[in-house]
Amino acid sequence: MRGLGDHLSIGERIAFYRNRRGYTQEVLAGLVGHSTDWLAKVERGRRKPPRIDKLGELARVLRVPLGDLIGQPALLEDEKQQDDVPAVRDALMSPRRLSRLLFGPEADAQLPVPGPVVPVVEQRWNDYQTGHLGKVVAALPGLLQTAQELEDRGTRSQEERRDCWAVSARAHHLAATTLAKIGESDISWLAAERAMRAADESGDPLVLASAARSGTHALLANGRYDDAMELGETTAAWLASRIEEDDPAALSLLGMIHLRAAIAAARHQDRATATNLLGRAETLANRLGSDENYWQTSFGPTNVLLHKLSAELDLENVSYVVEHGDIDVDHMPPERGVSHRIDFARALTLAGKGDDAFNELRTAEGTSPQLVRNNPRVRETLRDLIKQAPVTGGARSSELFAMAQRCKAVQ
């Protein structure tokens, strides 16, 4: 988190930025349509944090990124302590990216060919799905440089143009999705824009549909839910007329576009739209018939169910998530399974089922420590669990506090 410690609660962050902006509680509460008592209780942690859409409104009024109120994820790399985000930023913001006329390659420059780069990019996608975010971040600077060189090659070789731009789109998509996951929402948008531009140049509708997912990730990370819905709906309408009905990869990409737009709708508190989009995705999943992983979508009936539970949590239907959230995710890629366990733990905590919530977090951490220790929702859940823990302590309280320290939820 830029400027504030990870141990601060959402309420404490709101109070910090309110004071920095010079607003009284009465003024800020009025600007977001609530009572002073409501805001005072939020800031003191005497009521649960506001919904995600209300947090977005508070962020807009306080003129800070949404992540500054939620708590930016912090990339914690266990023993190696790798953190190459500054190098990723440098790769994305190199002056050479601004103009090919000004900074084109030398005539005799040795540029890569797309074929050997494809398995490298796909291996890093596999690292992302298995929760090894540090490996991905460490590899991104080199991948992004290679992607730039492939684009240069694509402008000079019509025969390889499509493949060069398609590989660049995949690399930038990976960058955007990873950066959104670790809280770098500003450069996540920059990477997503590059991914979609490269996909446009490739002329491949599936490459563009895949890259559009990175745009929804970046927009969601920035709290721009209307824009994420618009991108999802526009992409889905465009793709639907350009795919083969029996193409499983196309079905998967279209389904995931619907799922990402559904989450945007849920965070915007638009239940009708979220339900409609989830229904469309379910129809496609049933046509696919099983859980698959085309284009790293993890799309299928299980992922539709996971997104439905996530949407219900955003819509504050906690009882539904508690009742239906105990599902088998062991066959899913770890990134998907861990994300679900984090959501389920949050719902269980809100329902007062602290032991069950802690067990979910412990299982998730065992699967992927980086995904758990990186997540601001985990930190908020752990702080709530500590408040619920018996005063007398005990074994679970000790384990809980130790996990809270590992996740930077407490000092």
Instruction: Tell me the per-residue pLDDT of 297-329, one tens digit each, with 9 for 90 and over.
Output: 999 999 999 999 999 999 999 999 999 999 999
Sign, Cα dihedral of 76, 78, 81, 82: negative
Supply the pLDDT for residue 396: 61
Cβ–Cβ < 8 Å for 255, 232: no
Cβ–Cβ < 8 Å for 204, 173: no
Residue with the larger pLDDT of the pair 33 and 70: 33
What is the mean pLDDT of the segment spanning 339-366?
A: 96
Supply the pLDDT for residue 262: 97
Token digits for 45?
Answer: 């942690």
Question: N- to C-terminal Cα distance for the chain?
Answer: 14
> In angstroms, rounded to a whole number, what is the distance separating the alpha carbons of residues 397 and 206?
49
Looking at domain 80-337, its CATH class is mainly alpha
The reported pTM is 0.82
Highest mean pLDDT (candidates 62-66, 116-120, 392-396): 116-120
The mean of the pLDDT values for the chain is 88
Q: Is the pLDDT of residue 390 over 80?
A: no
Residue 213: HSE in the Cβ half-sphere, 13 Å Cα cutoff: 27
> In angstroms, rounded to a whole number, what is the distance separating the alpha carbons of residues 188 and 276?
28
What is the mean pLDDT of the segment spanning 120-135?
A: 94
Supply the pLDDT for residue 21: 82
> In angstroms, rounded to a whole number, what is the distance separating the alpha carbons of residues 24 and 27?
5
Residue (of 88, 184, 178) closest to 140 by Cα position? 88
Evaluate whether 10-68 and 80-337 have a shared fold.
no
The CATH architecture of the domain made up of 10-68 is: Orthogonal Bundle (1.10)
Supply the pLDDT for residue 270: 95
What is the mean pLDDT of the segment spanning 344-373?
A: 94
Residue (of 185, 224, 218) closest to 57 by Cα position? 224
Cβ–Cβ < 8 Å for 259, 275: no
Q: Where are the chain's structural domains?
A: 10-68, 80-337, 338-411
> In angstroms, rounded to a whole number, what is the distance separating the alpha carbons of residues 21 and 23?
6
What is the mean pLDDT of the segment spanning 395-406?
A: 83
Compute the residue count for the chain: 411
Q: Is the pLDDT of residue 79 over 50?
A: no
> In angstroms, rounded to a whole number, what is the distance separating the alpha carbons of residues 44 and 73?
22
Token digits for 158?
Answer: 């019509």
Supply the pLDDT for residue 46: 80
Supply the pLDDT for residue 72: 60
